Amino acid sequence: MTALVTGCAGFVGSHLTESLLNDGIPVLGIDCFNDNYARAQKLRNLERARDWDAFDFVPVDLARGNLEELLLECDVVFHLAAEPGVRQSWGSRFATYVRNNVEATQLLLEAACAHPGVRFVFASSSSVYGQAERFPTSEDTVPMPASPYGVTKLAAEHLCHAYRANHAIETVSLRFFSVYGPRQRPDMAFARFCDAVLDDRSISVLGDGRQTRDFTFVADVVRATRAAASIPSLGGGPYNIGGGSRVSLMDAVGILESVVGQRIAVEHRDPEAGDVHDTAADTALAARELRFRPQTTLAEGLALQFQSAVLERAVRESATLTG
């Protein structure tokens, strides 16, 4: 098998790429280094992958089209490239979200039409649900996105369904719930918290901190994503991929305090538009059809993320001193 991984320099994409390479699967990695966070961090995300001869990297902007050649030797497409983030998706930036999340997905699906038999795994988001009415939330819940970002992710899901129904592309959509772990995007909560602890600063929490999330460790997400590519005769989804527990943000801060061995000062700020109060994944369908079981507790995962943040900080400081 040869895999095409879009967004290979991103948070989840880089972990998925390394997992495939570790198992001897050649990877063609695609990324356009959009400006949602620093290019330098994305390049660091690719450092390990570049050590493999079986990794080829091509800087491509998917929304420009002409993608057919990318799929010539690929048996599976992992489409993780996206414009991420709920809070940034309002106003004039919405056009960027439409371009990178909807138009790019349609062009990649169109290219896949020329390659029958290719499995197309799409990374969607729990943001498609908006503020759900029941928890845990199952896939038969009517999606009601509360942000423009969620709207674009749902639109891309519908495109996957349309191409599956009309062009027999084996699409599978996965709805990721609050993914965290090493290399998390710097704008996301746990990444910000770890940096604040290392800088001996207070952390900012939106609202009262009682909002809950189904935090999912990145290695569990990678296992689910690979299962979606390898299990034969799989339905098109969508499948919820969650961490298995609903935890309030302040409880998560308490767990991080146990990890770092110190109290963390908290400053509360007003909630922002598009942030829902609660999420929780019903993963029964993924358990049954993808054989998905989350394996990493929040305490274990936060410890790994903080250890990674400490190591990365040390590497950066060493490079500054020697440079």
Name the residue ranges covered by the structural domains of the chain: 3-180+216-242+280-295
Nearest to 139 by CA among 273, 240, 258: 240
Superfamily for the 3-180+216-242+280-295 domain: NAD(P)-binding Rossmann-like Domain (3.40.50.720)
b/e code 32-65 from CB counts within 10 Å (16+ = b): bebebbeeeebebbbeebeebeebebeebebbee
Amino acid identity for residue 215 in this structure:
F
Q: Are strands 212-213 and 247-248 parallel, antiparallel or unpaired?
A: antiparallel
Tell me, what's the pLDDT at 136? 97
Considering the candidates 37, 149, 180, 239, report the single residue annotated as catalytic.
149
Secondary structure E strands in 32-184? 55-59, 76-79, 119-125, 170-176, 179-180
pLDDT digits (tens, 9 = 90+) for 118-163: 999 999 999 999 999 999 999 999 999 999 999 999 999 999 999 9
Tokens of 114: 């020329």
Tell me, what's the pLDDT at 77? 98
Tokens of 267: 């400053």
Tell me, what's the pLDDT at 323? 63
Determine whether 149 is an active site residue.
yes
Q: Are strands 119-125 and 76-79 parallel, antiparallel or unpaired?
A: parallel
Q: Kindly give the parts of the chain with pLDDT less than 50.
A: none
